[in-house]
């Protein structure tokens, strides 16, 4: 803004003020054209000074400029709509966002395997993972020395698996024995009749699930990600479905993504991604897809620092869940979408 100095021979503008932005308004910080300077110049050259009140009115008008118009906030709002200020009120975590399995509530969505850990590391690993469910093979549940159960913190739900079963009959027999030894109704159904790829036998898994669910087990079947089979397992009484992300122990991540997404979109029970998750980032990806939980073991057991890797998985799973619940941004194809004004006029009002 400038004050106009009128001269008999010429007309010129002199900058008179600095503008500062504060609290959403424009304030006049300094006025440099002082009465003293004007009076001196006028006396020597016959210059007349414009009415002070007119200058003040000019400043008052500009001070009323809306800061939103100055910086283009209106344009930004059109590009990135302002979220509901209270939208977060409905978002809950922990106790308010439980994982329900067979009527049991869990606040952690991380299921931890326990196959090859040094027994002395198990407690620290579980604590760093923040998990409430730990899987185990029945053979590790001995009644003599080195019993895995002696190293598991109190309050942890044990999830015995039927690893080694080659058909439904063997899986049912192992599950019944595990119920007696581990004092739990939870069972992860694993049936693999070939040893090279360890792919689950979906047909036998459906049979075992129906029998065990009918006997009151919380049946959690490990499956090859076939959406039709997922529905059949649900109809058979499964408490959840556990599709593999990639070959067990491979650490390759979610190679079966398209099929898993279909399962998630149509499932009426929790979907837990099992097998192949090799990094915390892959666990986060699974949760962002809408999976209800992730099971991991090899990635942690093969890490240089096992408890620290368990903690990394914990945070990744929590971040993925929060990301999914908050609503991911839309992916665009073939064009860009500016997040800031692109025209000078948007900034200048």
The token pair at 185 is 């109704």
| Catalytic, out of 154, 188, 207, 314 | 188
Burial 7-30 (b: 16+ CB within 10 A, else e): eeeeeeeeebbeeeeeeeebebee
Give backbone dihedrals phi and psi of 125, rounded to 5 degrees, phi first.
-65, -45
- Separation of alpha carbons 263 and 247, rounded Å: 18
- Separation of alpha carbons 325 and 172, rounded Å: 37
- Separation of alpha carbons 169 and 186, rounded Å: 18
**DSSP code of residue 151:** G
CA 137, chain centre distance (Å)? 31
Helix (H, G, I), strand (E, B) or coil at 333: coil
CA atoms within 13 A on the CB side of 223: 31
Q: What distance separates the 2 farthest-apart alpha carbons in the chain?
A: 113
- Separation of alpha carbons 349 and 19, rounded Å: 15
Task: Check if 314 is active-site.
Answer: no
Taking CA 312 as the corner, what is the angle to CA 309 and CA 313, rounded to the nearest 5 degrees? 90
CB 191 within 8 A of CB 164: no
CB 89 within 8 A of CB 113: no
Output the CA–CA distances (angstroms, integers) from residue 43 to 39, 47, 108, 210, in the order listed: 6, 7, 83, 106
- Separation of alpha carbons 59 and 226, rounded Å: 71
Give the residue numbers annotated as catalytic, written as ranges.
188
């Amino acid at each position: 803004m400038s004050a106009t100095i009128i001269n008999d021979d010429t007309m010129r503008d002199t900058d008179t003020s600095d503008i500062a932005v504060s609290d959403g308004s424009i304030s006049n910080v300094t006025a440099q054209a002082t009465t003293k300077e004007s009076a001196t110049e006028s006396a020597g050259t016959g210059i007349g000074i414009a009415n002070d009140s007119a200058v003040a009115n000019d400043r008052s008008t500009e001070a009323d400029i809306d800061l939103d118009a100055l910086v283009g906030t209106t344009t930004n709002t059109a590009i990135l709509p302002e979220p509901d200020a209270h939208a977060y009120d409905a978002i809950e975590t922990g106790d308010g966002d439980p994982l329900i399995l067979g009527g049991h509530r869990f606040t952690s969505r991380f299921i931890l395997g326990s196959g090859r850990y040094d027994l002395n590391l198990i407690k620290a690993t579980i604590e760093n993972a923040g998990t409430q469910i730990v899987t185990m093979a029945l053979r590790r549940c001995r009644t003599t020395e080195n019993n895995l159960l002696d190293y598991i913190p109190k309050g942890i739900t044990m999830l015995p698996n039927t690893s080694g079963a080659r058909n439904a009959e063997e899986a049912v027999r192992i599950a019944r024995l595990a119920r007696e030894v581990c004092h739990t109704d939870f069972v992860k159904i694993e049936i693999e009749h070939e040893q090279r790829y360890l792919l689950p036998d979906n047909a036998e898994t459906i049979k075992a699930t129906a029998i065990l669910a009918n006997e009151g087990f919380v049946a959690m079947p490990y499956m090859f990600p076939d959406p039709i089979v997922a529905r059949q397992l649900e109809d058979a009484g499964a408490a959840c479905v556990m599709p593999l992300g990639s070959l067990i122990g491979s650490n390759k991540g979610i190679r079966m993504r398209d099929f898993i997404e279909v399962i998630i979109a149509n499932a009426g029970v929790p979907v837990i991604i099992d097998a192949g998750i090799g990094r915390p980032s892959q666990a986060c990806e699974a949760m962002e897809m809408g999976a209800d939980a992730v099971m991991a073991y090899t990635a942690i057991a093969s890490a240089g620092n096992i408890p620290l890797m368990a903690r990394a998985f914990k945070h990744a799973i929590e971040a993925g869940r929060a990301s999914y619940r908050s609503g991911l941004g839309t992916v665009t194809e073939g064009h860009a979408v500016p997040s800031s004004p692109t025209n000078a006029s948007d900034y200048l009002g």
